[in-house]
Structure 1
Amino acid sequence: MKAAAAHNARDLKVLFRTEWKLFNRVKANYIYAVFVPLMLMLALKFSQDQMKLADDNLKAGPVMVSTSVGILLVFSLYSFITGLYVLRREELVLKRLRTGEVSDPVILAGGASMYIVVCIVQILAVTTGVSLIFSTAPHQPLTALLGILTGLALMTVMAAATAALCKTAESVTIATLPAIFLLPMISGVYIPREILPNALADVLLFAPLSPTVDLVRSGWTQNLDTAGILARLLLAAAWTALFAWIAARKFRWEPRT
Structure 2
Amino acid sequence: MNAQTVTSSVTPSVTPSVTPARKTAFVKTSLFKAEWLQFRRNRTLMFMATVFPVGIPLLIFAVGAGGAVETANAFDYFVMYTLLFVQFYTVLSMATTRRDERVLKRLRTGEARDLDILGAICFPGALLTLIFTIVIIPLLLALGAPMPVNLIPMVLAVLLGLVLCSALALLTSGFTRNAEAAQLTSGPVFILAMGGLGSVRIAFGESIVADILAYTPFAAISDLAQIGWAGATFYDNVTGATPVDFAGAFQEMLVPLGILAVWTIVALWAASRYMRWDSHR
Q: Tell me which interval the TM-score lies in, with the shorter structure as reference length.
A: 0.7 to 0.9
Structure exhibiting the larger radius of gyration computed from Cα positions = 2
1:64 aligns to what?
74
RMSD, matched Cα: 2.9
- 1:74 equivalent among 84, 91, 110: 84
Tell me the equivalent position of 1:204.
213
- CA drift at 1:47: 5.9
Structure 1 stretches of 4+ moved >6 Å: 3-8
* 1:129-188 deviation digits (Å, cap 9, x = unpaired): 3343352222211221111111111100000010000112221111001212x1233212
Judged with a 3 Å threshold, the aligned counterparts in structure 2 of structure 1 residues 222 and 24 are, in CA distance, closer, same or farther, namely same
Matched, 1:232 2:256: yes
Question: Displacement, 1:114?
Answer: 1.0
Q: Give the match's secondary structure for 1:59.
A: helix
Aligned amino acid, residue 102 of structure 2 = L
Structure 1-normalised TM-score? 0.83
Unaligned runs of 5+ in 1: none
Q: Within 2, Cα distance between the matches of 1:15 and 1:209?
A: 30
CA gap of 1:252–1:12, structure 2 versus 1, over 3 A, is same
Say which structure, 1 or 2, has more relative contact order (CA 8 Å, 6+ apart). Answer: 1
1:242 paired to 2:251? no
Q: 1:32 deviation in Å?
A: 5.2
CA contact (8 A) 2:72 2:229 kept: yes
Mapped partners of 1:225, 1:33: distance in 2: 30
1:4–1:245 distance in 2 versus 1, CA, 3 Å: farther
**Does the aligned pair in 1 maintain the 2:150–2:228 contact within 8 Å?**
yes
With structure 2 as the length reference, what TM-score do the two structures score?
0.76
Distance change (3 Å), C-alpha of 1:190 and 1:92: farther
Conservation of the 8 A alpha-carbon contact between 2:102 and 2:279: yes
Long gaps (5+) in structure 2: 1-18, 233-247
Question: What percentage of residue pairs aligned between the two structures are identical?
Answer: 25
Note closer, same or farther for the CA distance 1:48–1:89 as it changes in structure 2 (3 Å cut).
same
Query: Is 1:158 matched with 2:168?
Result: yes
Task: Supply the distance in 2 between the matched residues of 1:28 and 1:137 (Cα, whole angstroms).
Answer: 34
Match of residue 36, structure 1, among 45, 49, 52: 52
Alpha-carbon distance in 2 for matches of 1:228, 1:63: 17
1:1-38 Cα distance to aligned partner (Å, 9 max, x none): xx999876654433211112223445676555543355
Q: 3-state DSSP class of the match of 2:112?
A: coil
The answer to whether 1:113 aligns with 2:129 is: no
Query: In structure 2, do the counterparts of structure 1 residues 171 and 147 end up closer, same or farther at CA, with 3 Å as the change threshold?
Result: same
